[in-house]
Amino acid sequence: LLSEPQYIRQTSLDQKDERNSRYFDLLESGRILPSFYDNFLDYEELRDRFLCQRLLLLCQLSLQTGDISPQIELSLASHELPAYAHDPEGFARDMRDYLHRGYRVNISASSELRLQRAREIVTELGLAGINVMQADWSGGFVSPALKTALVTEKELFAKEGRKKHRRTYKGGERIDNFLDLRSGDYVVHIYQGIGQFMGVERLTIGEIERDYLLIRYGGEDRLYLPVDQLDLIQKYIGGEGNAPKLNRLGGAEWNRTKSKVRAAVQEMAGELLRLYAAREQVKGFAFSPDVPWQREFEDAFPFVETEDQLISAAEIKRDMESDQVMDRLLCGDVGYGKTEIALRAAFKAIMDMKQVAILVPTTVLAQQHYRTIEQRFEGFPIRYAALSRFFSAAEQKQTISELTWGGIDLVVGTHRLLSADVSFKDLGLLIIDEEQRFGVKHKEKIKALKTQVDVLTLSATPIPRTLHMALVGMRDMSIISTPPEDRHPVQTYVVEYHERLIRDAIAREMGRGGQVFFLHNRVFDIYDVAEELQRILPEARIAVAHGQMKERELEQAMLDFVAGGADVLVCTTIIESGLDIPNANTLIVDDADTFGLAQLYQLRGRVGRSERQAFAYFTFKRERLINEIAKKRLITIRDFTELGSGFKIAMRDLELRGAGNLLGPEQHGHIMAVGFDLYCKLLEEETQRAAGQAAPKQIISTQLELEINAYIPDSFVTDSVLKVEIYKRIAAAISEQEVDGLAEELRDRYGELPNTVYNLCLLGKVKVLGKKLSIASIMQKAGYIEIKLADEHPVSGEALLALLDKWPQRLAFSNKKGFMIRLDTHHIDKDLARIDVLLRVLNDLQQLITMDVDNVNKLS
């Protein structure tokens, strides 16, 4: 059995070179004998031995087998299934479709309880012919080659993942997404710095068994982190392919790095605050509340708005109705409805007799926006025009003249709008699409305009939620993070380039009246590729577009394609951002292994812009060996197909790009030094300090040393990644109810909780109360439990005296080495009973503190 045979030859040669480079040094030092290397086989000898056997070759991406030629090739291509937990209708529809197409459909569940529930669901939905079995598969798949579909409890029951409601971010919470933390990933410990996660290990100390995260640091240092302290670490997010330097445990280097980044962030926060304060001093035009025509215009929108769209529209209108100059950033993925929100703002401005300018980076985009404006403003007495080099000098002159005397209400254009000869009678709103794509000179002119009129900037580069929260009060932002209804994830395939595949994919799209992007990113032979496609598809209308064409020629080619004048557009990455062509729903990328992950993601965003199912084919040549990084990229883009997977791996590079656009390139090094999420936390602290608010309270991670076995046995949860996720959720819980809910979820999914898991949940509740009470540590000693409060804690003297009255025989206080509460556990023989008493004491203390606060509030 050979896995990835195409890499064996190169790996063998690399190892041989490494051995040869070290051979003489080792020989001279007497550490090896001259005959030592006779033990190693050359690649040719190794291959000959392979060929004497019956071979099974496994290839993850393609049937690339190097110089070993198989007699039979079998493709087992498959793709993942969506989550059905909140979509029973979708589940029933898909299963009926698979059964109708002759697929074998299986449902697996790991516990008897889940097995019974799966059978009930199948019966309730009337799905005959489905096999329900007990098995613990980590995820489902569909294989057209095998005509098989497997649905696991991950798709059928999963409570984590894609939900319609989103949990609100609270300052100081740890990272939500640990689901993809795997052995080998880099992590950031808030006190120890950057290390490498090596896996979960179970250690027995004394008679107590616990699970620990093993983290490798610089100089081969090792840290065994108790799972109850998982809230102290975050997954390191840097640029794609950048391995960070590991810190030494206990060294001063990490503290110096954090201090340096904090100083830079402090300076930037101060500058942001000064700009924000200066802008607030400038009085602008206060627009009127919505008029009846505004509601009529919005009701004419042919789609159902998402909640994010409605919230964003309300935020923008609130800014416009204020007498302060608006400077708001509207972020949203491609096709999430930013243009509609911008046009509502434009309509509002025009209703107050103000002019509106929409500034876009390319002529093609200007034409596209113009077409949208034509459709949306139909039936309303609004005069609009476009201004770009696509129009003749006479046409431009006429438009500029009308802008000057007020004959045009709305103009959309390129940087031509920023020319010295363009003036407005009464400009009230400037809408900028993708500001970062303009040059330095143009940005300076935009900056000057921003001080005079309301400005709305649109960006398709995602802004991470953590960064958004860190800048609250410093930068006005609206985020559209939910896709429109009826939007389907793009079906994504990573496949070898094959003429028949290309022909079938294009013919299928043409057969439903759609269009195709064929991306070939080399200009020198792009016309040869177009001719080859014409040969295999003589009936197709094929156009070419690339950046070295004359501007007028390029624009005409793009506009013809937008208008439906071609079936296939053979193009370079000029389509990477901006274009919105709902009728183009198939993308074929040639030599996809040469692109970066962010590029692949953005390219895929060109399709799937309507309710039609879209397809993306990322192809590579069989004869070319794909390196390991490119292979990982292709696997990643194939696996992350769900809408809203934007905060998974496929979006991290884009998030960093979005952060750079917002914060400036000089902050990139600081982000890399401490990881993106810790950077955002430091930024949040400093922006609040700069605004004169109390800095976010430092979250205490209570250290627990209690003599009780608390871990998740392998027999209960086999998947190590899921196990880490459960540990993380317990460590990050903010209420006892949340821990109870998780315990119920585990019971529902895996069956009755083993004692060690029940104990783990109890410790989770202790940890929750420890955070609320700012307890630094809870240690079990001989005959008592020591509760040490942190330096800054909310416990008053009155609360302590009241607690002592409730537990006179059990409690004592000490203030020798920090304030400590001593809980006497003599005569409590059982571990669970001790934990139960501890929880009751902590709950009583929490209630007494709450009563304290209530009394103070009543007095004030």
The string of DSSP codes covering 140-156 is -EEETTTTEEEE-HHHH
Q: Strand pairing of 568-571 and 542-545?
A: parallel
CB atoms inside a 10 Å sphere around CB 400: 20
More confident site: 810 or 21: 810
- Residue ranges of the domains in the chain? 2-58, 88-157, 292-480, 491-642, 703-859
Dihedral sign (CA 106, 722, 676, 266): positive
DSSP H helix total and E strand total for the chain: 26, 29
pLDDT attached to residue 565:
92
Q: Of 361, 363, 387, 383, which is closest to residue 373 (Cα–Cα)?
A: 383
More confident site: 630 or 764: 764
pLDDT attached to residue 639:
64
The stretch 392-401 carries a mean pLDDT of 90
Place of tokens 């810190």: 247
Domain 703-859 is in which class?
Answer: alpha beta
Question: Mean pLDDT for the chain?
Answer: 81
Strand extents, DSSP E, 666-816: 703-705, 775-781, 784-789, 811-814
The answer to whether 697 and 480 have CB atoms below 8 angstroms apart is no
pLDDT > 90 in the chain, percent: 23
The stretch 351-364 carries a mean pLDDT of 90
More confident site: 399 or 252: 399
Q: Is the pLDDT of residue 562 over 80?
A: yes
Residues forming beta bridges with residue 34, ordered by sequence position: none
Q: Which residues contact 71 (CB under 8 A, 6 or more apart)?
A: none
Q: How far apart are the C-alpha atoms of 450 and 260, rounded to whole Å? A: 32
Confidence of residue 696 (pLDDT cuts 50, 70, 90): low
The string of pLDDT tens digits covering residues 614-665 is 888 988 887 666 666 677 767 766 666 555 444 344 345 545 555 555 666 6
pLDDT attached to residue 350:
96
pLDDT attached to residue 577:
57
pLDDT attached to residue 164:
32
pLDDT attached to residue 707:
86
pLDDT > 70 in the chain, percent: 84
Q: How far apart are the C-alpha atoms of 594 and 597, rounded to whole Å? A: 10
pLDDT attached to residue 535:
94
Return the CA Rg of the chain.
31
The stretch 2-26 carries a mean pLDDT of 73
The string of pLDDT tens digits covering residues 269-280 is 887 777 777 777
pLDDT attached to residue 173:
29
pLDDT attached to residue 644:
46
Q: Is the pLDDT of residue 105 over 90?
A: yes
CB atoms inside a 10 Å sphere around CB 58: 10
Quick one: fold of 292-480?
Rossmann fold (3.40.50)
Q: How far apart are the C-alpha atoms of 51 and 789, rounded to whole Å? A: 69
Q: Is the pLDDT of residue 453 over 70?
A: yes
88-157 maps to CATH 3.40.50.11140: yes
pLDDT attached to residue 723:
84
The answer to whether 383 and 408 have CB atoms below 8 angstroms apart is yes
Q: How far apart are the C-alpha atoms of 187 and 675, rounded to whole Å? A: 9
pLDDT attached to residue 400:
93
Q: Is the pLDDT of residue 742 over 70?
A: yes
Q: Is the pLDDT of residue 294 over 90?
A: yes
The string of DSSP codes covering 176-226 is S--TT--TT-EEEETTTEEEEEEEEEEEEETTEEEEEEEEE-GGG-EEEEE
The stretch 94-112 carries a mean pLDDT of 88
Q: Is the pLDDT of residue 692 over 60?
A: yes
Residues forming beta bridges with residue 144, ordered by sequence position: none
Confidence of residue 436 (pLDDT cuts 50, 70, 90): low
pLDDT attached to residue 175:
34
Dihedral sign (CA 800, 805, 811, 812): positive
Do 88-157 and 703-859 agree at the fold level? no
The answer to whether 683 and 756 have CB atoms below 8 angstroms apart is no
The string of pLDDT tens digits covering residues 567-589 is 999 998 877 655 678 889 999 99
Max mean pLDDT among 218-222, 357-361, 622-626 falls in 357-361
Confidence of residue 666 (pLDDT cuts 50, 70, 90): low
Helices (H), ranges, 286-424 = 292-299, 307-321, 338-351, 363-376, 393-405
Max mean pLDDT among 329-343, 756-770, 821-835 falls in 756-770
Q: Token pair for residue 469?
A: 């929260």
Q: Is the pLDDT of residue 172 over 70?
A: no
pLDDT attached to residue 851:
75
pLDDT attached to residue 179:
40
Place of tokens 């930013």: 338
More confident site: 227 or 530: 530
Q: Is the pLDDT of residue 235 over 50?
A: yes
Q: How far apart are the C-alpha atoms of 406 and 624, rounded to whole Å? A: 61
pLDDT attached to residue 857:
47
pLDDT attached to residue 176:
42
Q: Is the pLDDT of residue 481 over 80?
A: no
Q: Is the pLDDT of residue 142 over 90?
A: no
Return the HEC string of 458-516.
EECCCCCHHHHHHCCCCCEEEEECCCCCCCCCCEEEEEECCHHHHHHHHHHHHHCCCEE
Q: Is the pLDDT of residue 704 over 70?
A: yes
pLDDT attached to residue 630:
72
Give the predicted TM-score (pTM) of the model.
Answer: 0.61
More confident site: 32 or 734: 734
Q: Is the pLDDT of residue 59 over 70?
A: yes
pLDDT attached to residue 472:
62
Q: How far apart are the C-alpha atoms of 360 and 415, rounded to whole Å? A: 7
Q: How far apart are the C-alpha atoms of 204 and 124, rounded to whole Å? A: 48
Domain 491-642 is in which class?
Answer: alpha beta
The answer to whether 21 and 37 have CB atoms below 8 angstroms apart is no
pLDDT attached to residue 131:
93
The string of DSSP codes covering 17-77 is HHHHHHHHHHHHTTSS-TTGGGGSPPHHHHHHHHHTS---EE-SSS---TT---S------
| Cα 656 → chain centroid | 11
The string of pLDDT tens digits covering residues 362-387 is 877 888 889 899 999 999 999 999 98
Q: Is the pLDDT of residue 231 over 90?
A: no
Q: Which class for 356: exposed (0-12), middle (13-18), buried (19 or more C-beta within 10 A)? A: buried
pLDDT attached to residue 194:
92
Kindly give the interhelix angle for 628-639 and 649-663, rounded to the nearest 10 degrees. 100
Q: Token pair for residue 456?
A: 């709305």
Q: How far apart are the C-alpha atoms of 324 and 326, rounded to whole Å? A: 6
